[in-house]
């Protein structure tokens, strides 16, 4: 009762927290996609080959991979608020500084720091959802955050093309970089863990704690060595290693693919490249809703996530046909199906750490999984540059169509045997 009478409370505060994390995701995707959308212009101005462009992306992914593990451990020790604040400041500075690049070395360096900062986002976002949401709502909460990724990916092409046409590509980096500093001001004022948040009602706090996996329990952050001995951690990491290159392929290469392989102009890319990401948005929300719906009907959380993952796995291979169709609209439709499937899939895979492990381990496990995702994306991106220069996009598209089934197979293999630490799902 004291909480209720000590000041104004915000109804449904956990959903506002999710929206704030969604905004951080949206900004991160606009920032990372600025280079991808401007790739036809920048590659021409800086005289970059496909392989050199791939190298720039690899530096980003290398730092992004390292950043997820480093920030994940940091956030489990020092908290979500401080960890994400530092990460946002680092990547926003790097994004803004790209306006001054004159050559490949400077671009690679700044993309490295952009990736390092953005690596701190997902461990903090998943940990924040674990702190603020009961188990049955977590996949939908992560779906909301993933909506930021897909909205950012859909918004970036028309926004960045407009900024480039209106003000030039260098000014575009300044504008997109400033978005993060605006968000930081709001984050610093608004975010706190539920038990300390002055605007959280007693009723909502009780609902969160009573429906969490381990209410009131506090343990120390786990060591990476102990986590890596857990088969479930290995399964999640390997699944992200195999599956996430699908998403990164289209983030990095879609504008260049449409420009060089499909003959679209930069303005046409701005008008059409957002469509697959809008469908990915639907996949993120529906994937989270579907597994939550199954849990409310009595399914165990891990079984519900598995059912959603299986549905997405059946849809993903439609991407194999992308290179075979002649019309741009058919290619966009197949890319849309593939990205819908990926987001439906990854939304539930990302929720598994909070199903398997206590809150104090969620950011560490998510960080390790993110590192696996980044390493896989880094290898696939670099190989894509080499393959496209020699054979075109078709072999890469065919390979991408098999990655989600391979990732799901590895996830099932490693997670089917209960860990010695016990299965909480």
257-266 CB contacts, 8 Å cutoff, 24+ apart: 257/393, 258/328, 259/39, 259/40, 261/392, 261/393, 262/328, 262/331, 264/328, 266/40, 266/41, 266/161, 266/164
At 249 the pLDDT is 92
At 424 the pLDDT is 47
Residue 47, token pair as written in the block? 């005289």
The answer to whether the CB of 129 falls within 8 A of the CB of 141 is: yes
At 228 the pLDDT is 75
CA distance 11 to 404: 39
Does the pTM surpass 0.75? The reply is: no
The alpha carbon of residue 144 and the mean position of all alpha carbons in its chain are separated, in whole angstroms, by: 11
At 239 the pLDDT is 95
CA distance 325 to 263: 14
At 220 the pLDDT is 54
Q: How far is CA 18 from CA 15, 25, 78, 125, 140, in A?
A: 5, 10, 20, 9, 10
The answer to whether the CB of 143 falls within 8 A of the CB of 287 is: yes
Residue 160, token pair as written in the block? 């960045």
Q: How far apart are the first and last CA of the chain?
A: 33
SS in 3 state form for the chain? CHHHHCCCCCCCHHHHHHHHHHHHHHHHHHHHHHHHHCHHHHHHHHCCCHHHHHHHHHHHHHHHHHHHHHHHHHHHHHCHHHHHHHHHHHHHHHHHHHHHCCCHHHHHHHHHHHHHHHCCHHHHHHHHHHHHCCHHHHHHHHHHHHHHHHHHHHHHHHHHHHHHHHHCHHHHHHHHHHHHHHHHHHHHHHCCCHHHCCCCCHHHHHHHHHCCCCCCCCCCCCCHHHHHCCHHHHHHHHHHHHHHHHHHHHHHHHHHHHHHHCCCCHHHHHHHCCHHHHHHHHHHHHHHHHHHHHHHCCCCHHHHHHHHHHHHHHHHHHHHHHHHCCCHHHHHHHHHHHHHHHHHHHHHHHHHHHHHCCHHHHHHHHHHHHHHHHHHHHHHHHHHHHHHHHHCCHHHHHHHHHHHHHHHHHHHHHHCCCCCCCCCC
All residue ranges of the chain with pLDDT < 70 are: 1-7, 211-224, 359, 417-425
What is the CATH code of the structural domain delimited by 2-190+245-415? Answer: 1.20.1250.20
The alpha carbon of residue 18 and the mean position of all alpha carbons in its chain are separated, in whole angstroms, by: 14
At 140 the pLDDT is 81
CA distance 402 to 404: 6
At 176 the pLDDT is 94
At 4 the pLDDT is 44
Angle between helices 104-118 and 80-97 (to 10 degrees): 160
At 153 the pLDDT is 79
Q: What is the pLDDT of residues 59-77, one digit of tens each?
A: 998 898 888 888 888 888 8
At 345 the pLDDT is 95
Residue 250, token pair as written in the block? 């289209």
């Amino acid at each position: 009762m004291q909480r209720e009478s000590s000041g104004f409370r915000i109804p449904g505060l956990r959903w506002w927290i999710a929206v704030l994390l969604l905004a951080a995701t949206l900004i991160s995707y606009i920032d990372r996609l600025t280079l991808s959308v401007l790739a036809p212009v920048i590659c021409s101005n800086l005289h970059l080959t496909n392989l050199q462009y791939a190298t720039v992306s690899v530096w980003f992914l290398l730092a992004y991979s390292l950043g997820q593990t480093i920030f994940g451990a940091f956030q489990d020790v020092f908290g979500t608020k401080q960890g994400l604040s530092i990460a946002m400041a680092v990547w926003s500075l790097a994004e803004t500084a790209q306006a001054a690049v004159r050559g490949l070395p400077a671009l690679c360096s700044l993309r490295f720091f952009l990736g390092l900062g953005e690596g701190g986002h997902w461990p903090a976002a998943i940990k924040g959802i674990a702190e603020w949401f009961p188990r049955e709502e977590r996949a939908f909460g992560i779906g909301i955050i993933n909506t930021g990724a897909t909205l950012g990916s859909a918004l970036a092409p028309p926004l960045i093309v407009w900024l480039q046409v209106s003000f030039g590509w260098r000014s575009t980096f300044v504008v997109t970089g400033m978005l993060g500093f605006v968000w930081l001001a709001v984050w610093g004022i608004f975010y706190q863990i539920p038990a300390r948040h002055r605007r959280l009602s007693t009723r909502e706090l009780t609902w969160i704690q009573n429906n969490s996996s381990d209410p009131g329990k506090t343990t120390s952050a786990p060591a990476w060595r102990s986590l890596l001995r857990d088969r479930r951690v290995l399964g999640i990491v390997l699944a992200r290693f195999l599956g996430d290159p699908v998403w990164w392929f289209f983030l990095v290469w879609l504008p260049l693919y449409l420009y060089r392989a499909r003959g679209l102009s930069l303005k046409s890319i701005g008008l059409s490249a957002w469509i697959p990401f809008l469908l990915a948005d639907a996949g993120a929300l529906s994937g989270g809703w579907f597994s939550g719906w199954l849990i409310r009907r009595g399914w165990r959380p891990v079984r519900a996530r598995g059912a959603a993952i299986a549905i997405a796995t059946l849809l993903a291979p439609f991407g194999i046909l992308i290179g075979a169709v002649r019309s741009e609209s058919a290619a966009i439709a197949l890319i849309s199906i593939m990205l819908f499937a990926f987001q439906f899939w990854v939304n539930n895979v990302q929720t598994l750490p909070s199903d398997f492990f206590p809150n104090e381990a969620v950011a560490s496990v998510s960080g390790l999984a993110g590192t696996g995702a980044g390493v896989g994306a880094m290898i696939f991106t670099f190989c894509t540059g080499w393959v496209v220069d020699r054979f075109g996009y078709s072999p890469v598209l065919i390979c991408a169509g098999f990655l989600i089934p391979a990732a799901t197979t590895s996830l099932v293999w490693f997670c089917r045997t209960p860990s010695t630490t016990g299965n909480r799902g």
